[in-house]
């Protein structure tokens, strides 16, 4: 038989675990942390998302930037984000996307879907798609200068630090 003391100890530990779990979930994740929880890298979204809404049951989301945002990646692809980006998010799949465009030749095409296939991300514009290694998306691009900003900015450092401290609290 466990002693009274042992039982008290056990329940104290249980309630500590419970309350730290509650404390962790009441801190709303940033849009970048949310992406990570669906198995996507943070760099799919540019720096500067001010807020978002998510309906977890349908996966429907809207994410907001202060204004529209454009930059080019590696001097090749030009991307444009509207102030409002919407879609449905599921693990490894972002679909029904609107508000993100890529310039292909002379046309601006909507990126309608992003899928994670293992260590690659597949971007689809409906009629065509292209795959890129996921490690190109570990850092958030910045509006205007993309990934080639000088001086090198902190990108989404704040979001990352928060999730690290959250883990160490638990
Ligand atoms: C968005 O705009 C508001 C008001 O102009 C400003 O206070 C805020 O810092 C901006 N947020 C970002 C992430 O740029
Ligand atoms: C795409 O959006 C429509 C309309 O909002 C919705 O009915 C549908 O379920 C969405 N598709 C997926 C796969 O989430």
Residue 22 lies in a domain: no
**Which pTM does this prediction carry?**
0.74
Evaluate whether 24 touches 165 at the Cβ level (below 8 Å).
Answer: no
Tell me the CA–centroid distance for residue 13 and ligand 1, in Å: 42
**Which pLDDT does position 105 carry in this prediction?**
85
Residue 16 lies in a domain: no
168 within a domain of the structure (yes/no): no
In 3D space, the residue among 34, 94, 86 whose CA is nearest the CA of residue 65 turns out to be: 86
Q: How many domains does the chain have?
A: 1
User: What's the angle, vertex CA 100, arms to CA 107 and CA 33, rounded to 5?
Assistant: 155
Domain CATH for 133 = 2.30.240
Domain assignment present for 106: yes
Q: Is 50 in the pocket of ligand 1 (CB under 6 A)?
A: yes
pLDDT digits 0-9 by tens, 2-39: 666 666 555 555 565 555 555 555 578 999 999 999 99
Q: What is the dihedral of CA 104, 106, 108, 114, to 10 degrees?
A: 0
* Higher per-residue confidence, 148 vs 16: 148
In a domain? residue 166 = no
Residue 144's pLDDT is 93
User: Which residues form the domain of 44?
Assistant: 31-157
122 located within any domain = yes
Residue nearest to ligand 1 atom 1, measured at CA:
66
* Domain assignment of residue 52, yes or no: yes
Q: Which sign, positive or negative, has the C-alpha torsion 87, 88, 93, 95? A: negative
Centroid of ligand 1 to alpha carbon of 152 (angstroms): 20
What is the arithmetic mean of pLDDT over 77-86?
96
Residues 6+ apart with CB under 8 A from 161: none
**Does 15 map to a domain?**
no
Mean of the per-residue pLDDT values of the chain: 83
Q: Which atom of ligand 1 is nearest to the CA of 47?
A: 13
Cα 104 to its chain centre, rounded Å, is 24
How far does residue 89's CA lie from ligand 1's centre (Å)?
A: 26
| CA–CA gap between residue 43 and residue 146 (Å, rounded) | 10
């Amino acid at each position: 038989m466990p002693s009274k003391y042992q039982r008290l100890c056990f329940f104290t530990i249980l309630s500590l675990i419970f309350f730290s779990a509650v404390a962790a979930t009441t801190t709303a994740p940033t849009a970048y942390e949310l992406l990570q929880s669906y198995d996507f890298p943070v760099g799919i979204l540019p720096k500067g998302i001010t807020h978002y809404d998510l309906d977890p049951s349908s996966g429907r989301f809207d994410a907001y930037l202060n204004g529209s945002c454009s930059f080019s990646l590696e001097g090749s692809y030009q991307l444009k984000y509207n102030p409002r980006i919407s879609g449905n998010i599921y693990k490894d799949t972002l679909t029904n996307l609107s508000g993100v465009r890529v310039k292909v030749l002379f046309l601006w095409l909507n990126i309608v879907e992003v899928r994670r296939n293992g260590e690659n991300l597949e971007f689809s514009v409906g009629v065509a798609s292209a795959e890129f290694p996921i490690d190109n998306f570990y850092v958030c691009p910045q509006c205007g200068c993309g990934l080639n900003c000088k001086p090198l900015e902190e990108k989404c450092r704040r979001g990352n630090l928060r999730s690290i401290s959250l883990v160490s609290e638990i």
